[in-house]
Structure formats: structure tokens, C-alpha cells
Amino acid sequence: MIKFIEKIQNHLISRRSFLGMSAGAIAAVGLTGCGLTKVTTKQAEEMSKAEGEWIAAACWHNCGGRCLNKAYVVDGIVVKQKTDDTHLDSADYPQQRGCQRGRSQRHHVFGADRIKYPMKRKHWEPGGGNKELRGKDEWVRISWDEALDLVAGELKRIKEGYGNKSILGSSRLLNFYGGGLVRWGSSSSGAWGIPQECMTGFFSWKANDRLDWRNAKLIVLWGANPARSNLGNPTYNLMQAKKAGTKFIIVDPFVTPSVKTLADKHIPCRPGTDTALLLGMAYHMIANNLQDQDFLDRCTVGFDKAHMPAGADTKENFKDYVLGTYDGIAKTPEWASEICGTPPQLIKEFAAEIATTKPMIFCSSFAPARTYKGQQFCQAFLTVGWMTGNVGKSGAGVWTMNYAANQSYGGKTLVKGGSTGLPTAKNPLFPDVTYGPYDGYRWANPKNPAANGMAYCETYDAILNGHYTGTNGRGKVPCDIRLIWLVRDGYGYNYLNQSSDTNKGIKAFRKVDFVVTNDIVLSSISKYADIVLPATTEWEKDGKILQGNPEAIFITPQVVKPLFEAKTEEWMDRELGKRLGLNPDEIYPINGKQQFFNSIAGAQVIKDDGENYETLVTITEKDIREWGVKGKTQNGRIGLNELVKQGVYQVPRSPGDKLGLIQGADFAKDPAANPLKTQSGKLEIHCQALSDKIAAYGLTTIPPIAKYEPPLDGYEATFKEWSSKEKGQYPFQLVTIHHGRRSHSTYDNIPQLREAYPQDFVMNKRDGQALGLKNGDTVLIESAYGKCVRPLTLTEAMMPGVVALGEGAWVEFDEATGIDKAGATNTLCGARLSGQGEEPWNTTIVRVEKYRGEPLEPDTEWRQRIIL
């Protein structure tokens, strides 16, 4: 057995042969509980040809979209996968096809590095012994009974000795046991949520439906790279608009795959300076009277002093700020260019084009708002978009890309799953934030006095320093965090890898008494735990409905039985609950199979009238008996078992159907009769509610209109002195981009994805040559917060002064040097408090030099984290 693992790791068999058999042959032996043993390539090939069954196996990871996967199962083993072939593909009715990550899922589920049994650190001691060995210690196998006894004992000890506020984490069990402190804020969506909510009255101002995008004459994608960050159909849908004659302009510091695929024009802009670019565009529009003044007068407040909201200072209007009427600084294209790096003439041409082209879609991704005080970008983007008047019309709109819902889709939700029927388990210490799916943001009501928890970026400081920033003017709130709890559905969120300042995070993890996770592999966060519990993947659970884009839902039943000793979170919670004196049947009054059935039975689909919904699924008495659940018969469009076998229900579309949506159409026609849910009832360019709400979080403040303020660790900070333009200690701006081989940190352990998508550090060719660097060099990248090494790629596709690294690589620290050799971006990105708790990743500055140590070997040659 050990020799076989050594052969795999030392590549004594070909990687292609190993990958071909790993999903089936290795897992097959694992199912016996015997660990891994040698299976020949011939045996693996024979298994792949054996008679089996295709089972729907939806991709469940947080990539921002959803696609259909199907697994071919032979004797409980997935030997191959395919994607959507349920109907013929067409532009109007596209298949929901999986990407390279989803199609690698069997290697994720059946990988040799799956955690096979409960484990504890070899030198761990209850009560917090040997904390400094976290991340360095060996692992030993323990039984489930021992693991559960130890976890329950530590949880009980800390609760009784220090109280629930000494527990950091959230889960259904924990909420029944008195709750814990939570981490709140915004990661994926950056600063977008609160500005959009306050300025438009909608938490998500939806896009027009995807068929209407083809009616646009121009589509602007600001900082958006759907060809890499949101795989599946978004880029395909955008291509249909391009085929219909739509022109594309993309704003980005990098010539991305989306620029190469879609753009007619590329606008370069330095990270964190997008607000300056937008203000320069606004100046050109105002100076040349290009704004849609009628729309601004009717539908907005705050553009000029004649249209200010009641009680506001008339000097605080957007027009006068842009013109420099009161501060003496005109925000001209020349002023903007010095900051953002976009040539003045290009700024003028860009401004004129968006102002005079109608209909036009003005669309931003989340990335430019993942910056320090990112609210200013959101304010400026919405304001300049509204200045064009492209709201409430076919082929027009101003919005942000909200995952798959707006990345070329938008419109109404045409089909949706039902409730599982499982009652909500509220956290007594933070009622605003309940235990549930992580959706990229978790904002508290800042005025809730029961909000016990800290912003994402303050987590490690709270552990190390014993206090966090309380919302609504509460100042510093003392805390004594003793336990980090990461036992939750789908296995714990890998925030040690995915939140800012990993170096500080490791120090924090090594300070608390106890860290427990459930996981499927030894991810970064589990590597630094004391006890790791083996979790099931979605393929091994009873089943779930996953919402995809607005036109489709995906159904994934159990594909295979749980591998090795893996258990569901429900099983773990019930067993721990017994040890803690809780009633497991109160924690989970209905089982997983019933929850799955309920969600299918409650599914709804829109009627042809485009307004009302009807039952989706037909359920018979025979279905209820065969499933062994409680339920009622009902009539719908598709039978229960047919839907489960198909794995997807997608609503067919065609031009001219009644299922489309023009967002804001009624409002734009008659704002008085169709007011928005803002304080003024209109779109708020001057938004005091936004300024007040951000202030209530207690982290940073913003003015009620869009203004450019240099961000912490932004472009200006790359200079020792701004006036002389002498470069400082950290002369380069880092952008942390979505990477082809990962969904955030998930899949980073898959060998063939590592081979296909190297984790290279990207730099402008001229910048590299000035430093004496060449392609392929191993470089040291260092910020004020940490350092890492990576192979270098030089290209003219990157703006000078800007460098890029893909986010999500599994951190691999050299304890002696403090260098991360994996290129995990959060070793470089610092934890800086901002706005509504957004992670300001894209305002990070670094220096670069040639690495003096041994060159890095390719990631594909690294040993996997396999524990026998």
C-alpha cells in the first residue's frame, strides 16, 4: 500500500494513467476500508467499460454559477463523467454545460487525498496543549467515538468555563447549544451590496433578461472576466449579443480571456482608481452637455444643486464636485489620467461613447469594489451609468454582475426549488445572521445591539488582541475567543486560506485552545486544526436542489454511498448533541431524505403568462412509498423520478416570449407613480442613508456622493512621494484574479488542473526587464503582510505597474523563512477594516525581485496531502 502511494507521488507511473484510474480504482479499494492499494491500468480500463448507470451529479461549489454534471457509476464507483445532453443546444435554449472544474469533480470526490477517518494531532492535548504545533504536527487516526467525545468535551469545557462568546463559529448544532461569535462582512461582492441597496432601494437591482442583452448597441463590462470567473454559459450568452451586432468595451488592467473573446475596445485602468476614471468621464460628459438631463431631473436626486434631497446641503451635489466648484479641483480627464493610467483622450472617447450610444448596458463585476473603501467606486459607477439615461429600456441598463443571476442572465426567476422544511436555527448571539449557505456576503444590521461578532478582516486581531469593533458606536467590544468551530454543512469554509493576512491568521489559530473542522481533504484550514472529522461530499448525501441561473435548477441525488468513514453534518450534530445533553430530534426534526423530497415537492415554475407560478413536479402515491417519505400527491410538468434522473429542469426561452424583464421600466416612465424603496423614492446619487449606514458599521466613513479618496495601499501608496513620483518600498499594485484551476480554493489539489492552469505570477514585460527578470524565473513577491515565491510570466497584456496572481492556492509555508511557496494571495493581502466589512484584496501593493533560493518545481510535482 505505502509503496503504491510512493509510486504515485514520485511519478513512477505516468500521471495520465494514474488519473485515468484514480477516480474508480483507488476509491473502490477505499470503500472496503482498507485504504489504498495497487490497481493496474488494465483493471481500471475494464472497470470503465463495465455496465453502470448515469446519475445526475450537479456541481455544488461556489464558483458563481451552476452547471449539469452526470456521473457514470459502476458498482458504487464513478468511472467517468459527462455534462448536459438533455436537449439539443441552441442560443435561445442552451445546454447547461460544465467546465473543466466540474468535469474534474470525480477526482475531487474520489481523490487519493480524501480524509478517510477522524484524526487528531499527535501531540494535541485537551485544554490547549502544544498549540504551537498546529500546522506542523503529525496526524494520528482515532475512532469516531473518541473524536466525538473529545470534541464534545472541549465544547462543553469552554462553554461552561468561558461562555458561548468564547466560541467563534456557526452551525446548526452550535446555535442549539447557545450560539457563537460570527464573522460578518462581504467577500465575493466587495462593497457592492449596501450602496446598491441604499441608492436603488433593491438589495440586487437585477439585469434585464439575457435575450434582451442582444438588443444593446453597446455593452460595457467593467472589471468583468466571465470567461474565467463565471464559467458555464455567461460568455456564450454574451457572444450571442456580439453576433447580433453589439459592441463590447471592457475595462480592466489586464487583457483577459474575456477581452480577447468579446472586446472591441479595451480600457486599461489601475486597480483601486476606477472612481477617478469615472469622475473624469463625468467631467467630459458635463462639460459637453452629454448627460441625459431629463432622466436625471425626473428619476434621480443629488446630481445638481437644483435636485437635492430634502435637508441636504446643496453644495454636496455631484455636478459641482466634479467641476471643482467648491474644492477647486476640476475632475478633468487629465486629472483622472494621472491617477488611473488611462490616456486622457481615451477617457474622453469612452465618456462620449457611453453617453451617446443608446441603448447601452453598463455593467460592473464585483472585482473593482473588492478594494479599500470600495463604496466610492459603486457610487461613481451607478452615478455615471445613470447620467446616460440607460435605465428601464430594452437593451439598456446599469447594474452589477451578481453571480450567474446577472452575468448575462438577469430577469425573473423562472424556476425555483422549494423549502426543505427544516426549521431555521437562529444564533442567539447574532440573530441577524443565521446558519445557512454562504453566499459571498453576510451583513449585520449595524444597529442591532445583539450583533456579537466581528468583520471578516478583524477576526485574527480579535483573537490576538481580545476585542473587536462593535457596530452602532459601541466602540471596542472585549472578547476571549478560545475555540474555532468549523463543523458545518458542506464542510468548513476555508477562511484561513481565503481571508486576508494568512500569516496573522496562523498566529491566531495557534493562540486559541481548540480548533475543530470537518473536511474532505486536508485543506489549509484543516491543516491547522486539532481534530479533523471526515465529511461527505454532496455526491454522498441524500440529495439537494441547487439554484442555477434564473432559468434552471439542478437536482443532485445521492451518487455513491459515503466513502471510507465519512459522515454527514447531520450525523455529526446528532451524535455530538447526545453527548452535550441535547435532543437530536429537536436539532433535526426531519431527516435528509425528507428535506430533499420537500424541496422537490415545493418547486415552482413560471407560467407562460410570465407572471404566475405553478407546481413543477408530479408526485404519485407510488413515489411517496418508494421514497419512504411523508407527502401528498400533486400534478406538475414533470414526474418526480424523471426530474431526478434528468438532473436539471430548464425553462425554454425564445424571443418574444412573455418571460422577459426590462428592469425599472415602470419607474423610468413614471417615477411618481412607481417610486423606489429609497428614502426619496428615486435613484439616489446623493444618498445620506448610505453614508449613515456605512458609518454605523464603525469601520470607515464615506460621503453621500461619489468622491475619489486615495485608498489605503492603493496606487498613490506605491510612491515614496506623490509629487515627485519617486517609487516607494512597494512599487507594484497586485490584483488577485479568479483562476482556471480552482473555485476559490476548491480543486487546488487536483493534479490535472494544476498541470493545465499553472499558478504563475504575471507582470508587464517592461517592468520585468527593468528588474533583470525573464520568463520562468522564480520570483519573490513581498508586501507589508507577507511574502511568497512563484514562477514568473512576462507579458504586454498587463498594465505597467500592475501584477497579478490567482487567488485560492493552498498556502504552503516554509516555517524557517516565512515564505509561502504556493502563491496564496492572502499571504500578501492585509486585513484592513473598511466600509461594511468588505475584503479589500485589490488594493494591495508589493515589491518583486528574483528569488535567490532553489527554483520552484512545478506544482504538479508536489506531493499531495495524503494521510494513510
Kindly report, residue by residue over 394-417, the tens digit of the pLDDT.
999 999 976 655 578 888 999 999
Instruction: Examine the pLDDT at 65 and tell me if it is beyond 80.
Output: no
Instruction: Compute CA distances 721 → 77, 321, 384, whole Å.
Output: 62, 26, 31
For the chain, domains (ranges, CATH) are 119-180+427-520+528-602+611-650 (3.40.50.740), 193-408+690-697 (3.40.228.10), 715-861 (2.40.40.20)
Least trusted range by pLDDT, from 30-34, 159-163, 726-730: 30-34
User: What is the amino acid identity at position 69?
Assistant: N
**C-alpha to C-alpha distances, 733 to 132, 377, 714, 826, 848, nearest whole angstrom:** 34, 17, 7, 14, 11
Q: Alpha-carbon distance 491 to 387, whole Å?
A: 45
| Per-residue model confidence (pLDDT) at position 491 | 67
Q: Return the beta strands (E) in 645-786 as ranges.
A: 648-650, 683-684, 719-721, 726-727, 732-737, 761-764, 778-782
Please state the rounded mean pLDDT for residues 566-584: 97
pLDDT of residue 30: 37
Mean pLDDT of 678-687: 97
Q: Which three cell numbers stand for residue 706?
A: 461619489
In this predicted structure, what is the pLDDT of residue 8?
A: 33
Side chain identity at residue 67, one-letter code: C
Banded model confidence at residue 2, pLDDT cuts 50, 70, 90: very low
pLDDT band, residue 1 (cuts 50/70/90) = very low
Q: What are phi and psi of 557, to 5 degrees?
A: -80, -175
Take residue 857 and report the three cell numbers written for it: 518545481
- Answer whether residue 17 shows pLDDT above 80: no
Q: Which of 41-50, 122-131, 267-276 has the lowest mean pLDDT?
A: 41-50
Distance CA 415, CA 648 (A): 11
Q: Kindly state the greatest CA–CA separation across the chain.
A: 80
Q: What is the band of 68 on the pLDDT scale with cuts at 50, 70, 90? A: very high
Is pLDDT above 50 for 467?
yes
| Residue 511 phi, psi (nearest 5) | -100, -35
Q: What is the mean pLDDT of residues 598-624?
A: 97
Query: pTM for the full model?
Result: 0.94
Does an H or E element contain 850, and which? strand 844-850
pLDDT of 24 above 50 = no
> What is the mean pLDDT of the segment spanning 299-320?
97
Rounded to 5 degrees, φ, ψ at 97 are: -90, 140
How far is the C-alpha of 798 from the C-alpha of 786, rounded, in Å? Answer: 23
User: pLDDT over 70 for what percent of the chain?
Assistant: 92
Q: DSSP letters along 306-365, please?
A: GGPPTT--GGG-HHHHHHTTTTS----HHHHHHHH---HHHHHHHHHHHHH-SSEEEEE-
Distances (CA, A) of 797 to 256, 485, 760, 769: 8, 43, 14, 15
Burial class (CB within 10 angstroms; exposed 0-12, middle 13-18, buried 19+) of 668 = buried
**What is the radius of gyration, based on Cα positions, of the chain?**
27
Q: pLDDT band at residue 281, thresholds of 50, 70 and 90?
A: very high
pLDDT of 470-516, one tens digit each? 988 899 999 999 999 999 876 667 889 999 999 999 999 999 999 99
**Helix or strand holding residue 820 (H, E):** strand 819-820
Q: For residue 834, what is its C-alpha cell?
A: 473598511
> What is the per-residue pLDDT for 48?
66
As a whole number of angstroms, the distance between CA 210 and CA 241 comes to: 9
pLDDT confidence of residue 444: 63
- Count Cβ atoms within 10 A of the Cβ of residue 9 and give its class: 0-12 exposed, 13-18 middle, 19 or more buried: middle
Q: Residue 15 pLDDT > 90, yes or no? A: no
- Residue 61: the pLDDT is 82
Q: State the pLDDT at residue 548.
A: 80
Among 395-409, 424-438, 680-694, top mean pLDDT goes to 680-694
CB of 829 within 8 A of CB of 842?
A: no
Q: Decide: residue 858, CB within 10 A, 0-12 exposed, 13-18 middle, 19+ buried.
A: exposed
Residue 810: which of 769, 753, 732 has the closest Cα? Answer: 753
Is the pLDDT at 44 greater than 70? The verdict is no
Nearest residue to 492 via CA among 417, 438, 443: 438
Torsion of CA 403, 404, 405, 409, to 10 degrees: 130
Give residue 526's pLDDT band: very low, low, confident or very high (50, 70, 90).
Answer: very high
Strand order in the sheet with 613-615: 415-416, 604-606, 613-615
Q: What is the pLDDT of residue 586?
A: 97
> Is residue 700 within 8 Å of 694, Cβ to Cβ?
yes
User: How high is the mean pLDDT of the chain?
Assistant: 91
Supply angle C-alpha 420, 624, 554, rounded to 5: 45
In percent, the amount of the chain with pLDDT more than 90 equals 80
Which residue's C-alpha cell is 473555485? 743
Which pLDDT score, from 0 to 100, does residue 149 have? 98
Whole-number pLDDT of residue 403: 65
pLDDT value at position 492? 65
Residue type, 475: G
- pLDDT at residue 834 is higher than 60: yes
Tell me the mean pLDDT in the region 297-320. 97
